[in-house]
Structure 1
Amino acid sequence: MKTVRGAVIGYGGAFNMGKIHANQMKDSGIAFVAACDMDKVRAEQAAVDFSGIRTYTKVEDLLSQEDIDLVTVITPHNTHAQLAKQVLESGKSCILEKPMCIRADDAFELTRLANERGLMLSVFHNRRWDAWYLTLMDLIKRDLLGEIFHVEIFTGGYQHPGHWWRSDKAISGGTFYDWGAHLIDYLLGFIPGKIKSVRGFVHNKIWHEITNEDQIDSIIEFESGAVAYISTSNIARAGKAPMRILGTKGAVVDADLWDDHLTLYTEVGGLPVETKIMNLKENWSAYYRNVADHLMNNAELIVKPEQAARNIAVIEATEKSAVIGAAVPVAYEK
C-alpha cells in the first residue's frame, strides 16, 4: 500500500463538483493536496474549503508537481481530451468527469496512451452505484429477467435548456453528451455484448436560440438481437417511464429513478406476478474507493477507459447516423 496524492483541475463552476470530488478523494483514503482553476477566485475558495492545499491558476504549474499522483479533470466537455492527454503525459493517473470526451478517436487515443504509460485512466461514471441500478443488476445476476431483448430509456421533459455552456454544442458536444452518457453507460452494463448498428434521429424544433439539439433518439441493435431505444429531450410535453426492460423470464419498469423501488413482472407457477422490489442502498462513494484500491493495492478498476470510450463511440455513431439517415456501425466494435 502507498499514499496516493490527488488534485483537481476545474474547482468551481457547475454543481460545486470540485469540492465533491475532493471530499470523495479524502473519504476514500486519497490525500487531496492541490486544486487548479483558471479563475483566481475559485482557486482561492478551494484553499478556504481545504486548508493547507496548494492552488494554481495554470494547468502546467499543477502538472509540474512531482508529488501529485492522480488528477481529476472537471471542466467543460470540449477540454477533456487535451487536458487528459496533458495529465497522462506528465506521468499522472487521470479521472475525467463524464463524458470522457467528445470524439471517439480522442477516447481511443487516451486509452492507448494510458495503457502505454502504465497509468490509470477512468471516467466518473458513479451512476453505476445508483440504488435502482444496483437493484436491477442484482435481479439480472439472479437470472430473474432471463435474456434481455428490449430496452426503452428516456430522460427529459419540456423545458428550456438554459443559456450556458452545457447548451452550446461546440463546448458540450450536444444534448446526448450530458445525461445521455449516463444512459448509455447504464445500457452497456446490463447488455454488454457487441453492437451491430446504431440508428440516430435528431430534432431541432423549438429552442433555436441555442445550438444543442432539442431531442436525440438512438436505436441500438446488438448482435444478440436485443434492441434498445434511448431518448433524451427538452421538448417532450408528455413523459414516460425512464426505464422499461424486457427479458425472456421477466420485465422491469422503473417509473422514477429516484423512487425507492422497481416494479418486476414475472410469473410463479405459471401465473403472472407484478411485484414491487425495494431498491438496494445507493453507494456513490464506491467509485473513488475502487480507484484508491486500484492505485494502492492493484485491485481491478471497475470503470475502465475502454468502457467509457465505447459510450462516446455510441453517441458519435448516433449523430453520424442522423446526418446520413441510415444505421451505422460503432467504431469501437470494428
Structure 2
Amino acid sequence: MQLVKVGLCAFGMSGKVFHAPFLKEHPGFFMSAVVERSKNDSQEKYPGTTIYRSVEEMLQHSDIEVAVVNTPVQTHFEYAKMALEAGKSIIVEKPFTVDVSQAEELVRLAEEKNLFISVYQNRRFDRDFLQVQKILNEQNLGTIKEVEIRFDRFRTEPSGKQHKENPMQTGSGSLHDLGAHLIDQAVQLFGFPEKLFADVFSMKGNDFANDYFEILLYYRDNLRIRLKSSVFSKEAHYAYMIHGSKGSFLQERSDNQENELVAGSIPVYGENWTAPLNEPDGILNFLNDNSETERILTSSESGNYMNYYQAIYEHIVFGYPLPSPGKEVVQNMKIIDAAMKSASEGRIISLS
C-alpha cells in the first residue's frame, strides 16, 4: 500500500482528537511531522513523528506530502498559503477561512500549483446527517417545504479561547464555528440558496463574539431552511426537522464520535468503531401510496470519520473525487459572509 506522509500544523484538541488517531490507524498514512511550539505531547502515542517548533520549520524541513492546517481560524489563510507555496496539498479545518476572499485566493493558488485543498467537514460523516440523507433519498416526504437544522449547546460561561470568543477577532464566534457545519449540511442536502436573512449576536453580551445565530435561507419553489444555534439550550431539540407535502422527519443529533474520541476511543480502519444506539433516534411520519399514515421510529447507522481520510487517500492514490474540496466550500463562506452582512444591516441579502 502506498504510504502518504502527513504533517499536523498543531497538536491541540483538533490534532489530538480529529486527525492524529485516524492518521495512525489508517494503513495508508504516516503522521511524520507535527508542530508543538513548546511541548512534546505527541511523543507518547506517536513516537515516530518528528516534532517541529513552528509551521515554517515543518514545511521547510519535513518531506510531507499533505499538511493539515488545524490552527485557529485566524491563521488558516497564512499557513495554508505557506503550505501551498511549499508544494504541499492541504487539509484545512473548518471554517475554511475568516472570509470568502481568503478562501478564493487559496483555491486559485492550489489550482495554479496543481495541488489540492480539502476542508475538514467531518459532520458529513455523522450518523444523524447520513440518516437525513437516507430519508430524503427514499422520497417518502414528497416535496420538501420547510427544514430546520440546529446545533445547540449549554455553555453559558466563557471558555477563555480568544480566537473563538474575542469579538474583535475576525472569524471568531458561533457562526464561523458551528455555522460552518450547518451551512455545509444545508448546501449538501438542498443546494445553494437564492437569498438569506440572518440574526447574529452574543447572548453573553457585547464583550464576546456571537454565540447565537438564526439564518433563514430562501430557495426556489417556496422552500425555506432555517439554521439555528444557541449556547443557552439546556434541553435538547431535534437537530433536523424536515417537513414535506407527504410527511415529516425528525432526527436527533445522536452522533457520538467526538465524545468517544475525547474519552480515548481508538478508531478502527475498515469498520465502524462507535457504540451502537440503545434506542431509536428519529421519527418518520408520512402518507404512504394508499394515503395511509405510517409513523416509524427510526435508528441511524453508525457514522465514521475514518471515511473522510479514506476518501483523501483514494483521491491521492487513485484519483477518486476529493471530499469537501475547497472550491466547493467557498460557497459556504459566501453564506457566512452574507449572514454577517444581513445581521449588521438588518435586511435580506441576495446570493445570486
TM-score (normalizing by structure 2): 0.85
- Aligned twin of 2:172: 173
Q: 5 Å matches for 1:129-208? A: 129-158=125-154, 159-165=156-162, 166-169=164-167, 170=169, 172-192=171-191, 194-204=192-202, 206-208=203-205
- Counterpart of 1:73 (choices 69, 72, 84) is 69
- Aligned twin of 1:319: 340
Cα distance in 1 for residues equivalent to 2:219 and 2:105: 25
How many residues of Structure 1 are paired with residues of Structure 2 in the alignment? 324
Contact 1:19 / 1:46 at 8 angstroms: preserved in 2? no
1:308 aligns with 2:329: yes
Change (3 A) 1:182 1:161: farther
- Aligned twin of 1:47: 43
Cα distance in 2 for residues equivalent to 1:149 and 1:251: 10
- Aligned twin of 2:10: 10
- Aligned twin of 2:229: 232
Q: 5 Å matches for 1:234-313? A: 234-236=231-233, 240-258=237-255, 260-268=280-288, 269-313=290-334
- Counterpart of 2:218 (choices 214, 221, 236) is 221
Q: Which blocks of at least 5 consecutive residues in structure 1 are unaligned?
A: none
Q: Quick check: 214-223 or 90-99, which moved more?
A: 214-223
User: For 1:168-214, what per-residue CA distance to the aligned partner results, in whole angstroms no more than 9, with x for missing partners?
Assistant: 2316422211111111111111102x32111111234x422632124
User: For 1:109-136, what per-residue CA distance to the aligned partner results, in whole angstroms no more than 9, with x for missing partners?
Assistant: 1112112211110111111111111111
Q: Quick check: 292-301 or 171-180, which moved more?
A: 171-180
Cα distance in 1 for residues equivalent to 2:143 and 2:5: 43
Q: Quick check: 110-119 or 95-104, which moved more?
A: 110-119
User: For 1:28-65, what per-residue CA distance to the aligned partner results, in whole angstroms no more than 9, with x for missing partners?
Assistant: 3111100013x211xx2223321122111121111113
Cα distance in 2 for residues equivalent to 1:223 and 1:167: 35
Give 1:256 deviation, angstroms: 4.2
Cα distance in 1 for residues equivalent to 2:143 and 2:44: 52
Cα distance in 2 for residues equivalent to 1:241 and 1:96: 29
Contact 1:151 / 1:228 at 8 angstroms: preserved in 2? yes
Q: Quick check: 288-297 or 142-151, which moved more?
A: 142-151
Give 1:224 deviation, angstroms: 4.2
Cα distance in 1 for residues equivalent to 2:282 and 2:110: 38
Cα distance in 2 for residues equivalent to 1:234 and 1:20: 22
Give 1:23 deviation, angstroms: 2.2
Paired amino acid for 1:78:
Q
| Structure 1 runs, 4 residues or longer, greater than 3 Å off | 235-240, 255-260
Contact 1:140 / 1:146 at 8 angstroms: preserved in 2? no
Cα root mean square deviation, aligned: 2.1
Contact 2:198 / 2:214 at 8 angstroms: preserved in 1? yes
Q: Quick check: 237-246 or 59-68, which moved more?
A: 237-246
